[in-house]
């Protein structure tokens, strides 16, 4: 675990640390090296002649206030790719709060590397072990709260990322259940409830069953309960957990299948959220639901044209087996609303559509809801956390996109239009109108993409925690 501490003078820093500061910081050493580095218009970085530090990096002042384009993170990523020291000193004397939150999450997330999965032979390199915050004495109490919150958020993100990065031949629905049970067992405030494939059928979750029945690894529904308060409404989070998506009989091409082990990021992030909430000991009641299945091909795989029935009695014509995520979400949303008909809200999280990436890119999660207070609160939380959302329309004009001649609904529009919003329109049928509901499409934000490679990002856990804390 990466720890942190605060200092108010560089003389208190541990020798051989990596110092990262604003170019204009008045707490820097007054010597010729720093004076020369300050003359740079861009990033000034040296590992030579900088004793007692192992490395000094001065970054332009503007980056410390840039919460929109993540300029400071962009500068830090290559610097932390191969750390020169396990000790990092970060100047936080004059930094935007959103930028600080983003940077702290990035730093605490250095606790996870793909090499930790031990699937590739790698040489040992330095790992970040401690963050030393250089601050003014009067800032320390406020910063201590921010650091604690962002460390807890990062712990949840790391748990989700580690699970998502595991190859799908290992990370099956049952594996996810067992890993969640292990993690939750460490917290007395968390308890797990599991439905196996027989119970899924017995409780009428026909959509989850339809998606998972074609795989040799059967589906699971996992509910994680957190009771940080003795009473009050329950907040519900539902995550899509497709541990691998072939597209089913509507088979994806190879290139489109490559990153499909990450189609369970929504579920992994719900687990990470629950772990963060337990660590922060938030005074709320929460249920996190993970809808887990592998969308496989085989003799028992669902077929185009199949009509399946959800646990709320709604029938759905499956006209595209590669639109399976909305099916497992629909059942899980309906199941959650039946367990808690007076829920404060239900928010689902899913890597649902590639269309949302075409609309919003990789920086923004898509938000779809008909509840205006929930929309406003999530939008504000996104801005405050630096994990932003953008609203897409969701109203009755989408009705024709889910019309079916044989069932109550069909799972994809036949005209291939408004794919993201149409999926949300389907989902809204499974949450009672008395319960506020929102859908987050994280297809663009659930992964961090760099140099042609993708790894799990842990988003939107920061957004959801910020929203929770603003809702207390």
Annotated catalytic residues are: 252, 326
Rounded to the nearest 10 degrees, the angle between the axes of helix 173-185 and helix 265-280 is: 10
Instruction: Tell me 146's DSSP state.
Output: H
- In whole angstroms, give the CA distance from residue 465 to residue 461: 6
245 upstream amide cis, omega within 30 of 0: no
d(CA 67, CA 101) in angstroms, rounded, equals 10
Per the structure block, which two tokens stand in for 201? 């059928």
CA distances (Å), origin 361, targets 354, 366, 381, 449: 10, 10, 20, 12
CA 366, 372, 375, 381: dihedral to nearest 10 degrees?
Answer: 160
DSSP per residue, 391-422: E---SGGGGGGG--SSSSEESS-TT--SHHHH
Angle between helices 173-185 and 140-165 (to 10 degrees): 150
Distance CA 378, CA 374 (A): 6
Judge whether 323 and 345 are in contact, CB under 8 Å: no
Q: How far apart are CA 224 and CA 241, in angstroms?
A: 14
């Amino acid at each position: 675990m990466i720890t942190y501490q605060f200092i108010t003078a560089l003389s208190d820093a541990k020798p051989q640390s990596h110092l990262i500061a604003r170019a204009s910081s008045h707490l820097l050493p007054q010597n010729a090296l720093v004076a020369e580095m300050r003359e740079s218009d861009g990033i000034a970085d040296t590992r030579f002649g900088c004793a007692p530090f192992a490395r000094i990096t001065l970054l332009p002042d503007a980056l410390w206030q840039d919460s929109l384009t993540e300029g400071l993170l962009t500068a830090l990523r290559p610097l932390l790719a191969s750390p020169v020291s396990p000790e990092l000193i970060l100047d936080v004397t004059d930094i935007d709060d959103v930028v600080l939150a983003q940077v702290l999450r990035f730093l605490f997330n250095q606790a996870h590397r793909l090499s930790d999965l031990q699937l590739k032979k790698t040489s040992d390199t330095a790992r970040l072990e401690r963050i030393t915050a250089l601050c003014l004495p009067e800032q320390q109490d406020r910063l201590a709260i921010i650091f604690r919150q962002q460390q807890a958020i990062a712990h949840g993100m790391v748990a989700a990322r580690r699970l998502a990065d595991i190859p799908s031949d290992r990370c099956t629905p049952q594996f996810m259940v067992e890993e969640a049970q292990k993690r939750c067992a460490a917290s007395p405030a968390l308890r797990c409830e599991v439905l196996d494939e027989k119970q899924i059928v017995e409780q009428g979750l026909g959509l989850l069953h339809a998606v998972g029945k074609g795989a040799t690894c059967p589906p699971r529904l996992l509910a994680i309960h957190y009771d940080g308060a003795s009473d009050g409404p329950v907040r519900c989070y539902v995550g899509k957990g497709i541990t691998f998506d072939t597209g089913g009989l509507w088979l994806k091409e190879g290139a489109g299948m490559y990153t499909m082990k990450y189609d369970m990021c929504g579920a992994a992030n719900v687990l990470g959220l629950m772990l963060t909430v337990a660590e922060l000991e938030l005074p709320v009641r929460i249920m996190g639901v993970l809808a887990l299945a592998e969308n496989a091909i085989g003799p028992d795989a669902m077929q185009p044209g199949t009509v399946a029935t959800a646990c709320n009695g709604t029938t759905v014509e499956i006209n595209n087996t590669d639109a399976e995520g909305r099916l497992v979400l629909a059942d899980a949303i309906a199941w959650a609303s039946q367990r808690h008909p007076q829920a404060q809200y239900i928010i689902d999280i899913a890597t649902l559509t590639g269309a949302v990436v075409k609309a919003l890119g990789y920086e923004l999660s898509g938000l779809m809801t008909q509840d205006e207070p929930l929309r406003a609160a999530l939008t504000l939380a996104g801005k405050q956390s630096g994990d932003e959302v953008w609203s897409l329309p969701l109203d009755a004009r989408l009705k024709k996109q889910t019309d079916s001649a044989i069932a109550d609904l069909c799972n994809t529009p036949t005209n291939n239009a408004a794919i993201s919003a149409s999926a949300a329109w389907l989902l809204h049928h499974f949450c009672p109108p008395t319960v506020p509901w929102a859908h987050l499409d994280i297809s663009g934000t659930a992964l961090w993409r760099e140099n042609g490679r993708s790894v799990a990002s842990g988003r939107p856990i920061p957004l959801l925690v910020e929203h929770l804390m603003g809702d207390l």
